[in-house]
Amino acid sequence: MKPLWIVTYLAAAIGLYHQPLWTIEEIPFVPTPIEVVDRMLELAEVKTGDIVYDLGSGDGRIVIRAAKKYGARGVGVEMDRELVELSRKKAAEEGVSHLVEFRLEDALKVDVTPATIITLYMLPWFNAKLRPILQQQLKPGARVVAHDYGIEGWTPTRVEKLPEIEKRPGGALHQHTLYLWRIE
Ligand SMILES: C[S@@+](CC[C@H](N)C(=O)[O-])C[C@H]1O[C@@H](n2cnc3c(N)ncnc32)[C@H](O)[C@@H]1O
């Protein structure tokens, strides 16, 4: 084999080896069932003084629930304008508008330094991009709870498979998995 071929072959092999296991695709709105939200909040041990950031907050259910059940403050970050409006309306109906806010923003660009708890129901590529931001911005004692998808390269403090198996449209069965990390 000629030297250039060897270099090209090695570069291709290394490139393939370093390919991430995920692909970037749009993340749709799929709400976390409310019983699963409750378990996420329990795992994170939400208390009154906490500030919960849900990145990709959908209809706002996680931060609204944390405010309603525990009196925690919350920030929902969501890219879909209609979902942000719906979240604000739901927060008002639940009487927690003074505790929560919803921002129409890219969740990968938001400053999460005030957060004591981060909740996620996002795809692996998003979680992987978020990891260095969390590493840089979260303070010791903060908790991260993710639904169904872990964070590549980050070993969770705890993984919990929920006992209830959900039947999805089309008959597919789904077992929810929750991941917890504690920042040290
Ligand atoms: C699977 S849903 C989860 C909703 C909510 N967190 C829950 O668990 O019920 C993901 C949400 O993230 C939003 N989203 C996707 N990419 C986003 C981004 N870069 N920044 C903010 N929101 C995003 C989608 O519009 C969608 O509402």
Per-residue model confidence as pLDDT tens digits over 88-109: 999 999 999 999 999 999 999 9
Average pLDDT, integer, range 57-67: 98
**Residue 147 pLDDT > 70, yes or no?**
yes
Average pLDDT, the chain: 91
Pairing of β 143-147 and β 158-167: unpaired
What is the C-alpha separation between 167 and 171, in angstroms, rounded?
6
pTM for this entry: 0.89
Percent helix, percent strand, percent coil in the chain, to nearest 5: 35, 25, 40
pLDDT tier at 169, thresholds 50, 70, 90: confident
Q: Which residues line ligand 1 (CB under 6 A)?
A: 27, 29-32, 54, 56-58, 61-62, 77-80, 83, 106-108, 121-122
Instruction: Please state, in angstroms and rounded to a whole number, the distance separating the CA atoms of residues 99 and 49.
Output: 11
Cα 180 from Cα 172, distance rounded (Å): 26
Ligand 1 geometric centre to CA of 29 (Å): 6
Structural domains in the chain plus CATH codes: 30-182 (3.40.50.150)
CA of 54 to the centre of ligand 1 (A): 9
Give the DSSP H or E segment for 105: none
